């Protein structure tokens, strides 16, 4: 069975050496000294490694079960959930006004990665609750906040988001769920929602469903959608639970993975709901949830790769197979360990260089989110908003790929469920789909984010890369050659693609849309190239003053060099694909496929 060891040291490196969190000017960050961060990471890491990880494979094998309308989670889940709650982990970055601990999002992100690596299906209960919490926090009335948030902050009540219906997912304008106003100001919500993660379960006393629906007489399409709080049990004014609401689980889906998280068909049959924010402005509120959720899904993507990698690495050191062609490495054994073989190394380096780059990108993104929220910095908000589809789309595509590669290290054993590598791939697969399938992320990036505020944010990104290159060109020759030159080339490719879209997308939008997926990947590569350059720089700086942990920092530089030499050149391929334009993609009549 696979195991998970929290990568605390790698996280500390990003937070301290690269992002230098304690010394930046974001309110709340001044508390993030090394001792504090490490105590948070060590404690959450213990929980992840010792409590959640052992439940991952058993949860997958057992799955959830629908019994008399109630979903039963796998053995051990409720106990573990209680322990996570007892540690106060769900409330880490929640508002102290509602019982939260008010910590920066960047720290919560590190904890999220660990919990997700250890047991993604389990961590979703908490993640979705946080998303629902955020939507109510941002858009709910004071009374609603007082009523729901204190219980949601630490997952005494969990949350869900209800968007999809059988006939519409991406295109929510087609929504049929109806909300009929009642005389007491509430609404009667009727309709069917599908793909509702954690739609029901036995780990919390109440579930707060956030449901998109159309109020009778609303405008057509997406502009007529409103958001409602629809609790499983009604909440009395004194906070006690009242009667069961008119909603039920219609079905539990059989899925490729995340078996331990129940994906429900939810039926709302005149359920009592309460409008959140303004009528017909539900999408705005839902996007609050979704943007947060998208970053979270990006974390899930690489978090699965992290745990898969750890196990593949251990296997590659343990499994004796064949001999090193350059000379026997394990003369007393029947064969050398797998890790001596160049193609196994290639496989492991792909994983390692991706995962560490992904982590740095995500933590940087979280820092930008903190900057946006805590300093009301609109530039930071614009930049992270630009990078959100990249974090979601690129990190989940690659995260899944890396799980598949890790599985490959095991040979035949990788295909046998008992070894656990299949689960990482099966679980990671959903991250490419939910919270907006990755094709939609590409569209969001190219069709919306690129031109947002007159293209200001993408320009800021390019400026940032350019400034980094020019400010650091004198670090040393190797850094220039190994990091800055490839970054410059990749960034130029990305600019070339943006330029192509500007020149050709205006006359024919399909020229841009046909390249949106490639652009998302290209952007992801440039982001990871930038993060590796930053990590290499930080490592060089540490090594200048302190060689006591030289192997760690030299390994960072070597891993970064791998990324720059073997992964980053993908931007050239993506550019060529983009520049071939819409014609090769669109030329066929649908009937001729």
Residues 185-224 that bind a second copy (CB under 8 A): 194-195
Binds a second copy by CB under 8 A, chosen from 3, 8, 38, 321? 321
The residue from 138, 320, 460, 543 that contacts a second copy (CB under 8 A) is: 320
* 383/513 with CB nearer a second copy: 513
Using CB under 8 A, which of the segments 89-97, 151-159, 318-326, 521-529 binds a second copy?
Answer: 318-326
Q: Is 549 in the site for a second copy (CB under 8 A)?
A: no
Judged by CB under 8 A, which of 414, 420, 524, 529 binds a second copy? 414
Q: With contacts defined by CB under 8 A, name the span among 97-105, 168-176, 269-277, 362-370 that binds a second copy.
A: 168-176
Least distance in Å: CB of 346 to a second copy?
5
Q: How far is the CB of 1 from a second copy (least distance, A)?
A: 13
Q: How far are the Cα atoms of 25, 193, 521 from residue 305, in angstroms, in the given order?
A: 32, 31, 17
Q: How far is the CB of 539 from a second copy (least distance, A)?
A: 13
Confirm or reject binding of residue 286 to a second copy (CB under 8 A).
Answer: no
- Looking at 118-126, 182-190, 248-256, 362-370, which segment touches a second copy (CB under 8 A)? 248-256
Residues 391-410 binding a second copy (CB under 8 A) are 400, 404, 407-408
Q: Which helix (H) or strand (E) holds 388?
A: helix 378-409
Residue 545 within binding range of a second copy, rule CB under 8 A: no
Closer to a second copy at the Cβ: 46 or 566? 566
Residue closest to 409 by CA, chosen among 347, 349, 355 = 347
Secondary structure (3-state) at 93: coil
The H-or-E segment that residue 158 falls in is strand 157-162
* 26 φ, ψ (degrees, to nearest 5): -85, 130
Burial class of residue 447 (count of CB atoms within 10 Å of its CB; 0-12, 13-18, 19+): middle
Stretch that binds a second copy, among 165-173, 208-216, 275-283, 285-293 (CB under 8 A): 165-173
- Contact segment (CB under 8 A) with a second copy among 33-41, 107-115, 162-170, 386-394 equals 162-170
Q: Show Cβ contacts of residue 581 under 8 Å, excluding neighbours closer than 6 positions.
A: 504, 511, 514, 515
Q: Which residue has the tokens 């990006």?
A: 298
Q: Compute the Cα dihedral for 335, 339, 343, 347 and give only its sign.
A: positive
Q: Sign of dihedral through CA atoms 527, 529, 535, 538?
A: negative
Q: Which stretch binds a second copy (CB under 8 A): 87-95, 115-123, 160-168, 466-474?
A: 160-168
> Is the CB of residue 362 less than 8 Å from the CB of residue 109?
yes
User: How far is Cα 347 from Cα 355, in angstroms, rounded to an integer?
Assistant: 13
Strand partners, 168: 165
- The stretch among 89-97, 117-125, 137-145, 419-427 that binds a second copy (CB under 8 A) is 419-427
Catalytic status, residue 435: yes
**What is each CA distance from 472 to 17, 312, 477, in whole angstroms?**
16, 36, 11
Q: Judged by CB under 8 A, does residue 543 bind a second copy?
A: no
Torsion of CA 177, 181, 187, 190, to 10 degrees: -30
| Of 8, 28, 139, nearest in space to 370 by CA | 28
Q: By CB under 8 A, what part of segment 254-273 binds a second copy?
A: 254-257, 263
Q: Does 5 interact with a second copy (rule: CB under 8 A)?
A: no
For a second copy, give the closer residue by CB, 207 or 421: 421
Tell the burial category of 25 from Cβ atoms under 10 Å away from its Cβ (0-12, 13-18, 19+).
Answer: exposed
Q: 142 vs 254, which CB is nearer to a second copy?
A: 254
CB 487 within 8 A of CB 475: no
Q: Does 514 bind a second copy (CB under 8 A)?
A: yes
Separation of CA 568 from chain center: 22
Residue of 356, 435, 471, 477 marked active site = 435
Nearer to a second copy, 257 or 365 (CB): 257
Q: Give least dist CB 582 to a second copy, A.
A: 6
> How many residues in the shown chain lie near a second copy by CB under 8 A?
96
Q: What would the x/- binding string for a second copy be over residues 350 to 379, using CB under 8 A?
A: --x---------------------------
Q: Which of 28, 76, 99, 439 binds a second copy (CB under 8 A)?
A: 439
Query: For residues 57 and 71, what is the distance between their CA atoms, to the nearest angstrom?
Result: 19
Per CB under 8 A, the list member of 1, 416, 464, 467 interacting with a second copy is: 416
Of the residues 66, 234, 433, 475, which one makes contact with a second copy according to CB under 8 A: 433
Query: Which residues in the 21-80 window bind a second copy by CB under 8 A?
Result: none
Of the residues 73, 117, 134, 164, which one makes contact with a second copy according to CB under 8 A: 164
| 62/272 Cα distance (integer angstroms) | 34
- Interaction between residue 102 and a second copy (CB under 8 A): no
Element of type H or E holding 125: helix 120-139
Residue 30 or 418 with smaller CB distance to a second copy: 418
Asked whether the beta carbons of 198 and 113 are under 8 A apart, the reply is no
Contact between 593 and a second copy by CB under 8 A: the answer reads yes
Element (H, E) at 38: helix 34-46
Distance in Å, CB of 339 to a second copy, minimum: 5
Told to check if 288 binds a second copy by CB under 8 A, we report no
330 near a second copy, rule: CB under 8 A: no
65 alpha carbon, distance to own chain's centre: 27
Q: Which is nearer to a second copy, 292 or 350 (CB)?
A: 350
Closer by beta carbon to a second copy, 272 or else 438: 438
Name the token pair of 415: 């295909």
Where are the extended beta strands (E) located within 53-170?
Answer: 65-67, 70-72, 157-162
Is 442 a binder of a second copy (CB under 8 A)? yes
> Residues 6 or more apart from 179 whose CB is under 8 A from it?
187, 188, 189, 190, 213, 214, 215, 216, 226, 228, 273, 275
Could you tell me if 121 and 81 are in contact, meaning their C-beta atoms sit under 8 angstroms apart?
Answer: no
Q: Please state, in angstroms and rounded to a whole number, the distance separating the CA atoms of residues 554 and 272.
A: 60
- Whole-number Å distance between alpha carbons of 179 and 228: 9
Q: Does 585 bind a second copy (CB under 8 A)?
A: yes
Pick one of 422, 472, 491, 495: the residue that binds a second copy (CB under 8 A). 422
For the record, the structure tokens of 92 come out as 């880490």
- Considering the rule CB under 8 A, would residue 497 count as an interface residue with a second copy? no
Asked whether position 332 contacts a second copy by CB under 8 A, the answer is no
Q: Does 342 bind a second copy (CB under 8 A)?
A: yes
Positions annotated as catalytic residues are 435
């Amino acid at each position: 069975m696979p195991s998970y060891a929290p990568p605390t040291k790698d996280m500390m490196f990003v937070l301290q050496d690269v992002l230098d969190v304690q010394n930046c000017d974001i309110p709340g960050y001044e508390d993030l000294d090394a001792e504090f961060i490490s105590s948070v990471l060590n404690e959450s890491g213990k929980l992840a490694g010792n409590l959640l990880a052992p439940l991952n494979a058993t949860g997958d094998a057992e799955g959830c079960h629908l019994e008399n309308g109630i979903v039963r989670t796998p053995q051990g889940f409720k106990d573990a959930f209680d322990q996570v709650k007892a540690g106060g982990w769900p409330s880490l970055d929640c508002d102290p006004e509602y019982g939260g601990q008010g910590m920066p999002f960047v720290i919560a992100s590190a904890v999220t990665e660990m919990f997700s690596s250890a047991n993604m299906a389990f961590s979703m209960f908490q993640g979705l609750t946080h998303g629902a919490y955020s939507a109510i926090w941002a858009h709910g009335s004071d009374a609603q906040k007082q009523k729901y948030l204190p219980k949601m902050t630490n997952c005494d009540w969990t949350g869900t988001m209800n968007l999809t219906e059988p006939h519409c997912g991406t295109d929510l304008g087609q929504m049929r769920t109806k909300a009929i106003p009642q005389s007491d100001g509430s609404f009667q919500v009727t309709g069917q929602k599908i793909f509702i993660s954690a739609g029901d379960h036995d780990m919390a006393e109440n579930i707060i469903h956030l449901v998109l629906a159309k109020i009778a007489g609303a405008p057509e399409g997406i502009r007529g959608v409103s958001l409602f709080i629809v609790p499983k049990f009604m909440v009395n004014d004194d906070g006690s639970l009242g009667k069961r609401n008119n909603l039920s689980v219609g079905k539990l889906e059989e899925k490729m993975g995340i078996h331990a998280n129940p994906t429900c068909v939810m039926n709302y049959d005149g359920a009592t709901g309460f409008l959140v924010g303004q009528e017909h402005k539900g999408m705005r509120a839902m996007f609050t949830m979704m943007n947060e959720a998208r970053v979270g899904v990006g974390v899930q993507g690489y978090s699965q790769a992290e745990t898969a990698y750890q196990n593949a690495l251990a296997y590659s050191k343990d499994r004796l197979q064949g001999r090193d062609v350059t000379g026997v490495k394990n003369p007393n054994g029947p064969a050398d360990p797998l890790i001596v073989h160049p193609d196994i190394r290639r496989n492991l380096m792909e994983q390692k260089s991706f995962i560490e780059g992904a982590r740095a990108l995500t933590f940087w993104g979280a820092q930008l989110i903190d900057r946006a929220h805590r300093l009301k910095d609109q530039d930071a908000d614009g930049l992270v908003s630009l990078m959100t589809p990249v974090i979601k789309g690129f990190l989940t595509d690659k995260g899944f790929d890396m799980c598949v590669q890790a599985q490959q290290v095991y040979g035949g054993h990788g295909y046998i469920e008992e070894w656990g590598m299949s689960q990482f791939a099966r679980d990671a697969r959903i991250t490419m789909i939910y919270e907006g399938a990755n094709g939609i992320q590409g569209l969001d990036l190219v069709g919306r984010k690129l031109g947002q505020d007159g293209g200001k944010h993408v320009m800021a990104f390019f400026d940032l890369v350019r400034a980094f290159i020019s400010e650091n060109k004198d670090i040393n020759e190797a850094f220039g050659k190994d990091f800055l030159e490839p970054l410059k080339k990749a960034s130029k490719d990305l600019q070339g693609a943006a330029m192509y879209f500007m020149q050709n997308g205006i006359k024919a939008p399909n020229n841009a849309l046909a390249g949106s997926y490639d652009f998302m990947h290209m952007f992801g590569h440039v982001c990871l190239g930038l993060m590796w350059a930053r990590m290499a720089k930080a490592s060089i700086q540490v090594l200048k003053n302190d060689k006591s942990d030289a192997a760690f920092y030299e390994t960072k530089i070597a891993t970064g060099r791998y990324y720059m030499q073997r992964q980053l050149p993908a931007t050239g391929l993506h550019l060529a694909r983009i520049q071939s334009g819409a014609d090769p993609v669109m030329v066929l009549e649908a009937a001729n496929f």
